[in-house]
Structure 1
Amino acid sequence: MPTLKTLQPGDEKLLEAFLCQHADTSMFLRSNWRAAGLLDRGERFQGTYVATYIDEAIVAVAAHFWNGMVIVQAPVNLPEVVQAAVTQSGRAIAGISGPAAQVEATKSVLGLSNRPTQLDESEILFSLMLADLQVPPALAAQKVQCRLPHSDELELLSEWCAAYNIEALGQKETPSLRLDCRRVIEARQAMSMHWVLVAENTPVSYSAFNASLPDIVQIGGVWTPPALRGKGYAKSVVAGSLLKARSHGVKRAILFTSHDKQAAQAVYRGIGFVPTGEEYGLVLFENTQG
């Protein structure tokens, strides 16, 4: 019979062994525990992790993180781990992510199938072996440069982050959005997990890693201001970030994007990304606090 357990320091090896079996859809879970451990004090990247075990091996896990996201990797025993993680964390639920079918099941388990959402999508999962990265000519010829942002660019990038959240994630422009985005940008800056593309000394595009491991990174938050689109900048900033990762030994990259974002898919396919055949679910509930 499965055994239910709240994970604690010392459980990392068993957790990682399980998540590696589902590597493409476990990036947030793997990256977060590596960044912040398994104790939950409510700090950035921390969460309450609950797993089921069979014969001393983990077979399912759900975590409820500091930001309200419930993230699942539970091919079995999903109701048990989801309910336990949410109950033990005591947090409000801001969203759900994980393998698409499991995200739908989690909504039902938590009684949230009819709760208003700002985003509810089953997205295409893409993968790229970095040895196969196709570098755009403008980047290869150094007509544009991809680099870590300078400190005096963080305010601009916070504005871009807010614009991305409104356009891509369906968020509303509230007084707290800009502040939240500034915190995200500052955290990425501290961890060297984002990049800006510069053309003639002017920032023109942005990309980040929203999850990072020694061997694999996950792309997120790609943004080019509307007036600058169609110039190949998104390809160059993503490719530039992956060149940096490759130079540090990273072997592969993952990302997910929605079925209706044809332009984004063209960008990623244009530098070598291919669909994995899996779908990644992402649900963000409406913020009832406004």
Structure 2
Amino acid sequence: MIRATEADRPAIEAFLTNHIATSMFPLSNLRSYGMSGGHPRAVTFWVRWLDGQITDVLTVTDEGFLFPQCPTGPWGDIKTVLAGQAYRGILGDAGQVAALRHALNWQVEPGIDDVEPLYHLSLADLQLPDCDGFALYPLADAPKETMLGWRTAYLTEVMPVPGEEPDVTAAKDIAAYLDANSHRALYRDGTPVAMTGFNAQLPQVVQIGGVYTQPEFRGQGVARRAVGLHLQEARRNGVTDAILFAASDNAARAYEAIGFNKIGAFSILVYEEPQVIHV
């Protein structure tokens, strides 16, 4: 594999777009932060070419995450080009993450080791439930302390970040959501009941992430309404497809109720301390 240059960007984007369901983070980070560094989510690419065509792409973010999109499994090549460097984790297609993890021989127990069902929805097939009494608002219009509390609870319950305090991470996340206008608060009869958002966005495709329902409102179809209304808004803005990975069986049922279909599995592997790659 060789390190890509800016001249390779169109070919990389085309290749990753052909594997869009498990490439949303790399593509969204590329679009938002570029290949020149200067932001934790700026990206570097390592590419394998064959007969002038890309066969594999490894995305590396400046904050130390690996995103393999490597159908041919060039794990030995990856070990060679990244030897001596330390990384915080691997995200992507579950089979590829497992194979790369095995090849790297990282023995330390990860802080997050999740394999979640991966879903897709064509927004033309969105099945929106009755939303009478519900309304969706930009996060900027919702009470900030409530949103901070919800995000802290989400990080504590669903996705604790190894080595970080949930309230500190929540404050960073909410600030980023406000800056990107990526998340929404769902109100029922004037009361905020849930939060939903997109953790990766492209002009035609969005990836849902960080959906949270206040505990007393769970089991009432709130999450599916929050996600459905946000996708309806995205559809009006030209988005055609949505991707997500479900953190629980209850979440999966909520997404299936509005039309999502399971297409695979997505893995999230995060370590508390960066792991060194040895040849």
Structure 2 partner of 1:127: 120
Cα distance in 1, alignment partners of residues 238 and 245 from structure 2:
22
Query: Cα 1:67–1:200, aligned 2, differ >3 Å: closer, same or farther?
Result: farther
Work out which of the residue numbers 259, 263, 272 in structure 2 matches 1:272: 259
Shift of 1:264: 0.8
Contact 1:64 1:86 in 2 (8 A): no
* Matched residue SS, 1:240: helix
Contact 2:56 2:72 in 1 (8 A): yes
Cα distance in 1, alignment partners of residues 118 and 186 from structure 2:
24
- Structure 2 counterpart of 1:150, which letter? A
Structure with the greater relative contact order (CA < 8 A, sep ≥ 6): 1 or 2? 2
Cα distance in 2, alignment partners of residues 119 and 108 from structure 1:
16
Do residues 33 (structure 1) and 33 (structure 2) align?
no
Structure 2 partner of 1:155: 145
Q: How does 1:90-109 map to 2 (within 5 A)?
A: 90=85, 92-109=86-103
Work out which of the residue numbers 6, 9, 15 in structure 2 matches 1:18: 15
Structure 2 partner of 1:73: 69
Q: Which one is further off, 225-234 or 237-246? A: 225-234
Contact 2:60 2:67 in 1 (8 A): yes
Segments of 5+ residues of structure 2 without an aligned counterpart are 275-279
The two structures have a TM-score, normalised by structure 1, of 0.87
* Matched residue SS, 2:92: strand
Cα distance in 1, alignment partners of residues 137 and 77 from structure 2:
41
- Structure 1 counterpart of 2:98, which letter? E
The two structures have a TM-score, normalised by structure 2, of 0.90
Shift of 1:40: 2.5
The count of residues paired between Structure 1 and Structure 2 equals: 274
- Structure 2 counterpart of 1:279, which letter? A
Structure 1 partner of 2:227: 238
- Structure 2 counterpart of 1:73, which letter? Q
State the percentage of identical aligned residues.
Answer: 31
Do residues 64 (structure 1) and 68 (structure 2) align?
no
Structure 2 partner of 1:283: 269
Shift of 1:101: 0.9
Deviations 1:234-290 (A, max 9, x none): 1111011101110111001011125xx2211110011111112x22121122358xx
Do residues 179 (structure 1) and 175 (structure 2) align?
no
Aligned Cα RMSD in Å? 2.1
Shift of 1:19: 0.9
Shift of 1:9: 1.8
Q: How does 1:112-123 map to 2 (within 5 A)?
A: 112=106, 114-123=107-116
Cα distance in 2, alignment partners of residues 132 and 195 from structure 1:
22
Work out which of the residue numbers 173, 189, 195 in structure 2 matches 1:206: 195
Work out which of the residue numbers 74, 78, 100 in structure 2 matches 1:82: 78
Contact 2:67 2:92 in 1 (8 A): yes
Segments of 5+ residues of structure 1 without an aligned counterpart are none
Work out which of the residue numbers 134, 137, 142 in structure 2 matches 1:144: 134
Query: Cα 1:172–1:64, aligned 2, differ >3 Å: closer, same or farther?
Result: closer
